[in-house]
Amino acid sequence: MTTKGKTTKTVSKETRPRKWRKPVPCPTCGSRNIRFDPFARAVNRKTSAIRQFWVCSCERHGILILTRHTDLKEAIRAWNKEATRQGRKHSK
């Protein structure tokens, strides 16, 4: 019995509707346990622009970031940008 296992079945459990960005580890201590807490929200009544403050912190360090959306993904994106920038500065 030569069973040529044609595994054309693509088990796609991992398909996500949108790209989920993982928060990069803390640039200072490398901890991957990053918390995102919405800290404060400011709305400009004239332009109705939203400013959302986030407290991004590992167990020891924290960074206050500011986004234009209340979406957590925006916070993660901002954190990644900030963390990678800091990491590059520290590495050299």
Q: Which is nearer to Zn ion, 41 or 85 (CB)?
A: 85
Q: Least Å distance between CB 68 and Zn ion?
A: 25
Q: Least Å distance between CB 55 and Zn ion?
A: 13
Residue ranges that bind Zn ion, judged by CB under 5 A? 26, 28-29, 31, 58, 60-61
- CA distance from start to end of the chain: 61
Q: Are 36 and 73 in contact (CB under 8 A)?
A: no
| CA 55/CA 47 separation, integer angstroms | 25
Q: Which is nearer to Zn ion, 29 or 66 (CB)?
A: 29
Tokens of 88: 């590059």
Q: Which is nearer to Zn ion, 9 or 89 (CB)?
A: 89
Q: Least Å distance between CB 72 and Zn ion?
A: 19
Q: Are 26 and 85 in contact (CB under 8 A)?
A: no
